[in-house]
Amino acid sequence: MLADPQIQIRQRLLQAILPHVAFDGWSGRAMRAGAEDLAMSPQDLALAFPDGPSELISLFSAQADTAMLAALEAQDLAAMKIRERITLGVRVRLEALTPNKESVRRGLAFFALPQHGALGLECLYRTVSAIWYAAGDRSSDYNFYSKRLLLAGVYSSTLVYWLDDKSQDQQATWAFLDRRIDNALRLGGGLGKRLGGLLDLPDRLFKRRCVPQGR
């Protein structure tokens, strides 16, 4: 685990690098430019982020998740329906990203590269899982995965729509989000049953092969 001073250095570097990401993408060039702004040596930069841009963008995503959870904790979630909690979770996550919209756009391009695809899925999973957990979900069966799969689709499509939304206060995005949530709720029941059947398939095959016929 990183010591507190190292955590602070990483956070300072991230904030210094973000303005450069808008122009140079999530790259070593952007990282070096941010480090130079802080009069930090290349050696110190490498010590803070030994895995380079991949580690940097992962920190960016994790900090947006933290900001989202803080915003949700300030709300009276107990008074809301699950649908409202999930919708609010997606909305505050995007609102947390608003000051760095161009960096998010560059992030999608970064994750589109084959070598970074797995990291993109990891960051997406962390986000949707955090939203469900904040909403009160404690499922441990196949519903755990079906809920996150559905929300991943909702979040991803809403994120892409949000990036190009020019409407006042992003009202078009929130209307789009409501429609996507409606679609997900309609799909949810059937998808959960199908996933449950798939997860149960190995047991059923095992019983078919091992239990003598005619009994």
**pLDDT in the model for residue 6:** 86
Give dist(CA 77, CA 50) in Å, integer: 39
Taking the CB of residue 112, how many other CB atoms lie within 10 A of it? 10
For the segment 20-74, what is each residue's pLDDT rounded down to a tens digit?
999 999 999 999 999 999 999 999 999 999 999 999 999 999 999 999 999 999 9
Q: For 146-159, how does the pLDDT look when each residue is reduced to its tens digit (9 = 90+)?
A: 889 999 999 999 99
CA–CA separation, 148 and 12 (whole Å): 32
What are the tens digits of pLDDT across the range 78-114?
999 999 999 999 999 999 999 999 999 999 999 999 9
- Backbone φ, ψ for residue 50 (5° rounding): -60, -25
How far is residue 48 from each of residues 10, 43, 44, 116, 190, measured CA to CA in Å?
6, 9, 6, 20, 46
In percent, how much of the chain has pLDDT > 70?
A: 86
115, 8, 127, 95: which is closest to 53 by C-alpha? 115
| Mean pLDDT over the full length of the chain | 87
| Contact residues for 54 (Cβ-Cβ < 8 A; gap 6+) | 116, 119
Return d(Cα 13, Cα 47) in angstroms, integer: 12
Per-residue confidence (pLDDT) for residue 139, from 0 to 100: 81
